Structure 1
Amino acid sequence: MSESVATSPIRRRRGRGARERILAAAVELFTRQGINATGIEQLASTAQVSKRTLYVHFPTKDGLVDAYLAHVEEQLASAEPAADSPGLSARERLLNIFNERSPGARDPLRGCAFLNAAVEVPDPDHPVHRRAAQYKRRFAERLTDLAREAGARNPETLGEQLALVYDGAASRSTALNTPTGRYARDIAEQLLAAAINGEPAR
């Protein structure tokens, strides 16, 4: 599924700057083991920098988490050319969002980085939680725009329904470590047909 975390660590190269190595370590560790389980010492060790250097580039862990989420968002956007291809219909572009990406055979499924961050940082006023919520709102708005373009009678409702299906599938995949995107796409197709053609969802 296009918005699920399928983030690969930034590839490190000899001579690469400290900030980039720190961000690479954050992507690797936050994705694999979570935000709260990852400490500053482990981040510094993985990035091969001192804690002092880490704090020069990211004075707080919250700032590093924010940079991590920004990186994930950029990576997801750059990995979705098919979903946004002008050669596809709005319906096809909408359903393509539900295509599931396969991580490595041994990689645990980590679901959505933004949902995970919102759970790990539950305070709705916290900057990390606010960034996660903002991304999820934009995601639903994107679905709404595509639903409107596809001819849905109530695109706002359909957009929220599809966002709920997507996020539910991402969370279930994380809990069970089993891909659920195929089922989510099936539900999305049924909801889309009902919204456009008036066909009852099966």
Structure 2
Amino acid sequence: MGTTTAASTAATPQGRGRGGRERVLAAAARLFAVQGINATGMEQVAEEAPVSKRTLYAHFRTKADLVIAHLQDLASSGATLEAVLTREDIPPRERVLGLFDPAPADAAPAGAAPVRGCPFIDAAAEFPDPQDAVHAYARAQKLRMVELVTALVTELGCREPAALAEQLVTLADGAASRAMVLGEADYGRHARAAAEVLLAHALPDPA
């Protein structure tokens, strides 16, 4: 996820000019990661971008629209822990275990930035109403996560793949949450060890 400093964008005219949407998303990503979504106001995002408020609201009519676009941007950029599940360049088992490695957004050197954990869980916690559009989007992403894991463990031939997938994603989400709270990007190594045991017991017995 690229970042653009205020200094580098100062020469760009404010308005609905070229790159305004991208600058808003980059600014929102920085602010949301550091201080949370609810603590970040739309005016602050506009100042950080920098764009005029008119430009900001031309691209994002509401803060919920901005938050959902931010989450979509994270999902498409491969910056979330779920991204490894769709990689076709590594075997299915390693994709599943990749859930327990630091997410790309958290892989910076220690102290360089706050550990994000899972941005979908963070967003759902900040928008707790299940009917809220942000919460609904976060829920959809977590449901997709378990669907992807179910398909992978089915491909591996594991017994009871649906139940196993729920166990694995519960481990991954729990590890991501503890990584955020403790500020330890590699905390998932503990859950990975448990996941390896679950996978070993779920595989068919050798003939």
In the superposition, the TM-score normalised over structure 2's length comes to: 0.83
Q: Pick from 140, 143, 149: which aligns with 2:149?
A: 143
State the partner residue of 1:93: 95
Give yes or no for contact 1:9–1:28 (8 Å, CA) kept in 2: no
Residue type matched to 1:76 in 2? G
Amino acid at match of 1:97: L
CA RMSD of aligned residues (A): 2.2
Give the aligned partner of residue 4 of structure 1: none
Counterpart position of 2:15: none
Aligned equivalent of 1:84, options 84, 87, 103: 87
Equivalent in the alignment of 2:44:
42
Q: Is residue 110 of structure 2 the alignment partner of residue 105 of structure 1?
A: yes
- Give the deviation of 1:19 after TM superposition: 1.3
Q: 1:47-66 CA deviation, whole Å, 9 max, x = no partner?
A: 11121221111111110001
2:183 to 177, 185, 196: 177
User: Is residue 193 of structure 2 the alignment partner of residue 186 of structure 1?
Assistant: yes
In structure 1, distance between residues paired with 2:79 and 2:21 = 22
The one-letter code sitting in structure 2 at the alignment partner of 1:191 is: L
Deviation at 1:75, TM superposition (A): 1.1
Relative distance call for 1:9 and 1:77 in structure 2 (3 A) is closer
- Are the structure 2 counterparts of residues 83 and 74 from structure 1 closer, same or farther at C-alpha, using a change threshold of 3 Å? closer
1:165–1:81 Cα change, 3 Å: closer
Q: Does structure 1 retain, via aligned residues, the 8 Å contact 2:84–2:95?
A: no
In the alignment, which residue of structure 2 is the partner of 1:3?
A: none
Task: Please identify runs of 4+ aligned residues in structure 1 that moved more than 6 A.
Answer: none
1:83, 1:97 within 8 Å by CA — same for their partners in 2? no
Query: TM-score of the superposition, structure 1-length normalised?
Result: 0.85
**Preserved CA contact (<8 Å) 1:118 1:129:** yes
Structure 1 CA distance for aligned equivalents of residues 80 and 172 of structure 2? 19
CA contact (8 A) 2:80 2:118 kept: no
Q: Structure 1 CA distance, aligned partners of 2:199 and 2:115? A: 27
Q: Equivalents in 2 of 1:127, 1:190: separation in Å? A: 37
Q: Give the Cα separation in 2 of the matches to 1:138 and 1:98.
A: 17
Q: Deviations over 1:148-182 (max 9, x none)?
A: 01111100001100000000001111111123111
Percentage identity across paired residues of the two chains = 46
Q: Give the 3 Å change call, closer, same or farther, for CA 182–190 of structure 1 in structure 2.
A: same
2:70 corresponds, among 68, 71, 74, to 68
2:203 to 173, 183, 196: 196
TM-aligned CA distance change 1:109 to 1:182, over 3 Å: same
* DSSP 3-state at the match of 1:97: helix
Stretches of structure 1 that go unaligned for 5 or more consecutive residues are 1-7
**Aligned mates of 2:161, 2:85 — CA distance in 1:** 22
What amino acid does structure 2 have at the position aligned with 1:160?
E
2:51 counterpart of 1:55: no
